[in-house]
A = this chain, B = another copy of it.
């Protein structure tokens, strides 16, 4: 089964304490789509400007990502520039040039409207709604978000939550949304807002699932060499959705392994700038780390 992924498609200029990389392929939809492509065919929905490098279109194509939903509009591609602090935990935005992203309205090609697995990657909740409005009967919808939308589009986000099966956010966003310090109490409150599955991401501490069949403590893969965490959260949810769309049997049964696969793709994402490492791995590299995670958590 294919996954429809809507989100941002951007050029990221990333500074870390050790290096500086201008105009890498970035954006939530790019990271999530490449991650999902290891498991399922992907239909990407996004927008880029006329300046979007051909090499990045080729990159999408190498991952067999369907680009029928990628609009190429007159103007500039969304450009984000950020800098990570010495411990890689905090980042600050240096520059945001929205370009063609400012007036983006995702239009789904007819064939996309029947997709059963939908990932509303991080993008304005109004656009996430707009995609859902065009869908016929999605079987499973997951949504990601970011602190920005909690600050400036909370009502749109609150209206979205009853429409999604799974909501993914990080621990500080969960605190911001629920005012709860305890992640388990925060997840309880988020369930009441609509989603059946709630995932709280905790960066290098892994993630936690709350689902109809209970909680799952999902480990992060141990990284000795963190290069650039940009897109790790998108890779996690993209990998998970790619896995779920293809795995046989009920979603509930596959959910934990989906998170593990997502966690492993995210670990590779962190080992290179932008998508540099993720685009160099093979499915067998992912399987290897999944087996290692089995060993790392067994008792």
A interface list, Cβ under 8 A from B: 86-89, 181-185, 202, 204-206, 208, 214-219, 222-224, 226, 256-257, 259-260, 294-299
Could you tell me the distance between the alpha carbons of A184 and B221 in the complex, rounded to whole angstroms? 11
Best-buried of A86, A205, A224, A226 by chain B (most CB within 10 Å): A205
Other-chain contact of A223, B182, B223, B224 (Cβ < 8 Å): B182
Which residue of the partner chain, among B216, B219, B297, B299, contacts A257 with CB atoms under 8 Å? Answer: B299
Instruction: Kindly state the separation between the CA atoms of A32 and B165 in the bound complex, as whole angstroms.
Output: 44
Not counting A86-B181, A216-B296, A256-B299, a sample of 18 additional A-B residue pairs whose C-beta atoms are within 8 angstroms of each other reads A87-B181, A88-B181, A89-B181, A182-B223, A182-B224, A182-B226, A184-B223, A205-B205, A206-B217, A214-B295, A214-B296, A216-B297, A217-B222, A217-B296, A217-B297, A219-B297, A257-B299, A297-B297
- Give chain B residues whose Cβ lies under 8 Å from the Cβ of A216: 296-297, 299
Q: Which of A89, A183, A257 has the most CB of B within 10 A?
A: A183
A79 to chain B, nearest CB (A): 29
Q: How far is the CA of A118 from the CA of B214 in the complex (A)?
A: 38
Copies, count: 2
State the CA gap A128–B89 with chains docked (Å).
35
Q: Which 7 A-B pairs have the closest CB atoms?
A: A256-B299, A205-B205, A87-B181, A217-B219, A184-B224, A217-B296, A260-B299
CA A215 – CA B223 in complex, angstroms?
Answer: 12
- Chain B residue contacts of A295, Cβ below 8 A: 214
Nearest chain-B residue to A219 (Cβ)?
B217
26 contacts between A and B (CB under 8 A): A86-B181, A88-B181, A182-B224, A183-B204, A184-B222, A184-B223, A205-B206, A206-B217, A208-B222, A214-B295, A214-B296, A215-B222, A215-B296, A216-B297, A216-B299, A217-B219, A217-B296, A217-B297, A219-B297, A256-B298, A256-B299, A257-B299, A259-B299, A260-B299, A294-B299, A297-B297
For A185, the chain B residues whose CB sits under 8 A away are: 224
Nearest chain B CB to A261's CB is how many angstroms away?
A: 10
Chain B residues in 8 Å Cβ range of A298:
256
